[in-house]
Amino acid sequence: MSKNKIYKLIAAFGRKAAVKASGTASGYGSYQPKEPEALKKLKK
């Protein structure tokens, strides 16, 4: 697997985690990081 493919995979993983987290009411732990504005726009 080329390096670029690995980077893309890491990026996709991070993006998926952000989108998944935006589809919930809150983080399950007792800390909630601030949801970025860009993600809110993406949801719309």
Partner 1 sequence: MTLINELVIIYLRKVMRMVHRLSKMIANFLLHKNVISETEIDIYIYGYETIILGIIDFFIVLTVGLIFNQFITMLTFFTMFISVRLYTGGYHANTVLKCKAVFISICISLVFLSELEFPYFLYILVMLLYLITSFFLAPIENYNKPLTSEEQMKYRRISIAMSLFWSVVAVISYFFAIKICTTITVTALFITLLMIIGEYGKGGKINEQE
Note the residues at the interface with partner 1 (CB under 8 A): 4, 7-8, 10-11, 13-21, 24-39, 42
State the minimum distance, in angstroms, from the CB of residue 1 to partner 1.
14
State the minimum distance, in angstroms, from the CB of residue 5 to partner 1.
10
Which tokens in the block code for residue 5?
């493919």
Is 1 or 37 the residue whose CB approaches partner 1 more closely?
Answer: 37
State the minimum distance, in angstroms, from the CB of residue 43 to partner 1.
9
Q: Round to whole Å and give the CA distance between 43 and 37.
A: 10
Q: Round to whole Å and give the CA distance between 7 and 23.
A: 25
